[in-house]
Structure 1
């Protein structure tokens, strides 16, 4: 019996596949074009698409455990619910679902409330699942290095409420740990929800200060102008996604992204080590000078 990983070539999914392969698990990676997928040795590329029911049924053959990661797309909710229903039909014994922190609180943000609906299905049908609710990915900011290094501006309008960013490598380590725990258990395990967040509540100003220290020149926060943020996103993303990201940032400015009490300690116990910190990510991203 195998572990099926969706989103297997993406930022988080590719790391999950690597971790599972390193532990000797039998892994199947759901990919659109197997011939183009760069996968670790021993991992089986399975052709499929989250909108193609027939391909999903084939992919779920002999699968005991599922890692479900959906991209932010207009039909994300449909894709997730279809996959979970098919997994039930196939007798999958363990699921790890990648949701998002505060999925229930950011109720006007499309991709947040979509993930919350998936969580509700998991609860309603008592599926044997671990729901992982990550905060903002630290590595998102690496896409902004042009503005940070070239113009001395940190462009993300995070505000000052505080965002406990999480390193994608920690997400992958926790996801793989939960997948293996469920995969190797004799019987289906009870449902579990984990907030995935880092140890530091960061603001736009504190992030800019870390980049200033690393680059040894001033980096200033761009401010909280959400209209300008949406317009920038619209240059490289569909309008619906740019607006979705604007709504997310508005919620971050109002509520922040902070895990349930005790979450950091729980995650560090699970990992057996400290969580990675934002300053570590900055230092490692370009061998920059942080003390």
Structure 2
């Protein structure tokens, strides 16, 4: 019996596939297009789509454990609900679902509410699952790194409420730990929820200061204008996604992204090491540029 990883071509999914393979697990990697990425030896590439029921039924056969990741798309909710229903139909009782932190607070943000609805299905049907709720990804900053370095402006309008950004590598490592824990258990385990956060509550100003220190020159915060942020995103991507991200930034400015008091300690106990810091990420990103 194997572990099926959805979103296997993506940033987090590909990390999870690699780490599971390194741990000796039997892994199936669900992809929409075959041959797009080179997977580790022994990993079985499975072509399917989360809204294509026949392909998902085939992908879920001979699977004991499921990692469910839905990309931010207009039909994200449909994808998540279909995948979970088909997993139940296949008798899969070991699931790790990648949600998002504060999905219950950001009720006007489409991809947050989609994930919250999937969480409600997991909870109402008492599905044996780990729900992972990550905060804003540090790796999102790579989209604006050139602006930061070339123009001395930190442009993400994250405001001053504080965002405990988390490194995607830490997300993947926690996900793998939970997948292996569930996969290797003699019986399905009780449902649990983990908030995936970093150690620092960053503001726009403090993030800019970290970049300033790492670059050795001034970087200023670009401000809280979410309309300008939407316009910039819409210049290179779909308008619906730009608006979704604008709404998310509005939520970040209002609520922030903070884990529970013990969240960092719980994660570091699972990992057996400290979480990566934002300053470490920034230094690494500059070095790799």
Same fold (TM over 0.5): yes
Q: Aligned-pair distance for 1:244?
A: 0.6
Q: Which residue of 2 aligns with 1:144?
A: 144
Q: Which moved more, 1:67-76 or 1:231-240?
A: 231-240
Q: Aligned-pair distance for 1:125?
A: 0.7
Q: Aligned-pair distance for 1:285?
A: 1.4
Structure 1 residues 137-177: Cα deviation after superposition (integer angstroms, max 9, x where no partner): 00100111111011111110000000000000000000000
Q: Residues 37 and 45 of structure 1 are in contact (CA less than 8 Å); yes or no, is this contact kept in structure 2?
A: no
With normalisation by structure 1, the TM-score equals 0.98
Q: Which residue of 1 aligns with 2:259?
A: 259
Q: Which residue of 2 aligns with 1:54?
A: 54
Q: Which moved more, 1:91-100 or 1:27-36?
A: 27-36
Q: SS of the counterpart of 1:97?
A: strand
The alignment status of 1:6 with 2:3, answered yes or no, reads: no
Q: Which residue of 1 aligns with 2:94?
A: 94
Structure 1 residues 63-114: Cα deviation after superposition (integer angstroms, max 9, x where no partner): 0000000000000000000000000000112000000000001011110011
Q: Which residue of 2 aligns with 1:201?
A: 201
Q: Which residue of 1 aligns with 2:134?
A: 134
Gaps of 5+ in 2: none
Q: Residues 9 and 36 of structure 2 are in contact (CA less than 8 Å); yes or no, is this contact kept in structure 1?
A: no
Counterpart CA distance in 2 for 1:227 and 1:103 is 22
Q: Which residue of 2 aligns with 1:276?
A: 276
What is the number of equivalent residue pairs in this alignment? 288
Superposition RMSD in Å: 0.8
Counterpart CA distance in 2 for 1:61 and 1:234 is 40
Q: Residues 31 and 37 of structure 1 are in contact (CA less than 8 Å); yes or no, is this contact kept in structure 2?
A: no
Q: Aligned-pair distance for 1:200?
A: 0.4
Task: Flag as ranges the 4+ runs of structure 1 deviating above 4 A.
Answer: none
With normalisation by structure 2, the TM-score equals 0.98
Q: Residues 8 and 14 of structure 2 are in contact (CA less than 8 Å); yes or no, is this contact kept in structure 1?
A: yes
Q: Residues 131 and 194 of structure 2 are in contact (CA less than 8 Å); yes or no, is this contact kept in structure 1?
A: yes
Structure 1 residues 32-56: Cα deviation after superposition (integer angstroms, max 9, x where no partner): 1223332111110001011111000
Structure 1 residues 204-235: Cα deviation after superposition (integer angstroms, max 9, x where no partner): 10110011111111111100001100000101
Gaps of 5+ in 1: none
